[in-house]
Amino acid sequence: MSDHQKIRKMLSLAAAGALDQRDEELVVNHLRGCAACAAEAETWKQIGSALRRLPTPQPRASVVERARAQAQVRLTEEFEHRWNRAMLTGLIFFAWVLTVMSWPVFKLVTGGLIGVLDPNFHHVWFLFAAFTATAWIAGGAAAAILSLQQRRERRLA
């Protein structure tokens, strides 16, 4: 392909301002000595100008207001969800800490200070562990059911 043909292919991109500096210089230098390409470049320039002048359609004001209102509601919901998630995580962490801490306290109250160091398990311990596990499983199941219900409601909304 000759230089002339190569440059001619670049003219549309030149009108779009999409050439790198080196190609831009090549085009400018070529246009100085080639009337045909200069005319072609002018055509592309006019096309580019017409594209830039296309009328800007505007959305109806009611549509913009509805979009704004819906987005604001969703943003508020998103931040409420984030807050709820953070709160729930904090509460779970706190509950675990409390549970773990309560075991030695429970032992201390029921068996005295030496009992804390006693590694032997007895039936009171097993009852206490069973109660804790049941409470956690019930809490977890309730949270899962609530979450599913919320998700279903959100989908329907």
**Footprint on this chain of another protein (rule: CB under 8 A):** 9, 12-13, 15-16, 18, 39, 42-44, 46-48, 50-60, 63-64, 66-68, 70-72, 74-76, 78-79, 82
Helix (H, G, I), strand (E, B) or coil at 40: helix
Cα distances (Å, whole numbers) of residue 18 to 39, 48, 71: 19, 12, 36
Rounded Cα gap, residues 32 and 23, in angstroms: 15
In the complex, least distance from residue 109 CB atom to another protein, rounded to whole angstroms: 46
4/68 with CB nearer another protein: 68
In the complex, least distance from residue 19 CB atom to another protein, rounded to whole angstroms: 9
Rounded Cα gap, residues 133 and 145, in angstroms: 18
In the complex, least distance from residue 140 CB atom to another protein, rounded to whole angstroms: 26
Rounded Cα gap, residues 96 and 122, in angstroms: 22
50/117 with CB nearer another protein: 50
Rounded Cα gap, residues 128 and 88, in angstroms: 24
54/117 with CB nearer another protein: 54
In the complex, least distance from residue 85 CB atom to another protein, rounded to whole angstroms: 12
4/66 with CB nearer another protein: 66
> Where does residue 17 fall: left (phi above 0), alpha (psi -120 to 50 degrees), or beta otherwise?
left
In the complex, least distance from residue 28 CB atom to another protein, rounded to whole angstroms: 18
Rounded Cα gap, residues 13 and 44, in angstroms: 9
46/102 with CB nearer another protein: 46
